[in-house]
């Protein structure tokens, strides 16, 4: 992948990670639950599509 595409993706991931982990412990748990639920639904959709 060319660097011109990789640099904005890396910067976006870094910004998302910093924003995701800032905040209180309860907020982190809620965000983790939401991300985990989304990953589970995506897994089920992909597994069901096969």
* Domain extent listing, the chain: 1-48
End-to-end CA distance of the chain: 28
Q: Dump pLDDT digits (tens) for 2-48.
A: 667 788 888 888 777 777 777 778 888 888 888 899 899 988 888 88
Cα separation, 19 vs 7, whole angstroms = 18
- For residue 28, what pLDDT is reported? 80
* pTM of structure: 0.51
> Residue 49: what are its φ and ψ, rounded to 5°?
-75, -20
Alpha helices by DSSP H, listed for 1-50, are 3-21, 25-49
- For residue 47, what pLDDT is reported? 86
Q: Does residue 1 have a pLDDT over 60?
A: no
């Amino acid at each position: 992948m060319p660097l011109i595409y990789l640099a904005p993706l890396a910067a976006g991931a870094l910004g998302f990670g910093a924003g995701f982990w800032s905040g209180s412990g309860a907020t982190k748990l809620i965000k983790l639950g939401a991300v985990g639920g989304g990953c589970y639904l995506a897994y089920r959709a992909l597994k069901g599509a096969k």
